[in-house]
């Protein structure tokens, strides 16, 4: 019985790491992008909608972290319906949270920097919008890798069984 309590508690830590770090990356990225967007809107009021788009792009990392955290909470039994986890599964849950949390942290910050630069480029040349979106989307891949590893760890680590 002690193993189930400890494993489930470790899953709660994994869930916190997943959303905590991924959310931190998203928040920092959005702040960086918003700072660039505010400057762009000050130069050209028509940049508001495009600035919002660039500012919203780093939000996805927090969404990935949130989804993984919810899955961990549900399948560990913390939100009901699931069974408690053994210590081994709880340790896997920390790895799951770390994979999306840290990948989301770096990806969100990188995406925010790319977005801020892109919105500045669009102020200078409207034709840069589509290319700016592409450049801003590229840092997303690291978060996708972390998300996929988190899902694989859940499946093959016995949490989603």
pLDDT in tens, 31-49: 999 999 999 999 999 999 9
User: What are the structural domain ranges in the chain?
Assistant: 2-156
Its pTM stands at: 0.92
Residue 104 reports pLDDT greater than 60:
yes
Q: What CATH architecture does domain 2-156 belong to?
A: Up-down Bundle (1.20)
Instruction: Specify the 3-state DSSP secondary structure of 70.
Output: helix
CA angle 56, 57, 63 (to 5 degrees): 90
Tokens, residue 48 = 């508001």
- pLDDT tens, 69-94? 999 999 998 887 667 788 999 999 99
How many Cα atoms within 13 Å fall on the side-chain side of residue 152?
8
The pLDDT-based confidence of 27 (bands split at 50, 70, 90) is very high
- pLDDT tens, 109-148? 999 999 999 999 999 999 999 999 999 999 999 999 999 9
Tokens, residue 34 = 């918003």
Contact 55, 115 (CB under 8 A): yes
């Amino acid at each position: 019985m002690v193993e189930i309590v400890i494993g489930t508690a470790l899953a709660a830590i994994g869930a916190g790491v997943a959303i905590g770090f991924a959310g931190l990356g998203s928040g920092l990225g959005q702040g960086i992008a918003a700072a660039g967007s505010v400057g762009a809107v000050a130069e050209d009021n028509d940049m508001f909608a495009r600035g919002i788009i660039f500012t919203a792009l780093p939000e996805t990392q927090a969404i990935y972290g949130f989804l993984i955290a919810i899955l961990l909470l549900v399948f560990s039994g913390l939100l009901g319906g699931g069974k408690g986890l053994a210590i081994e599964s709880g340790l896997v849950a920390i790895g799951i949270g770390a994979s999306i949390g840290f990948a989301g942290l770096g990806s969100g910050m990188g995406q925010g920097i790319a977005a801020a630069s892109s919105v500045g480029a669009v102020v200078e040349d409207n034709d840069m919008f589509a290319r700016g979106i592409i450049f801003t989307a590229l840092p997303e891949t690291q978060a996708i890798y972390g998300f996929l590893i988190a899902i694989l760890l859940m499946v093959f680590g016995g949490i989603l069984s």
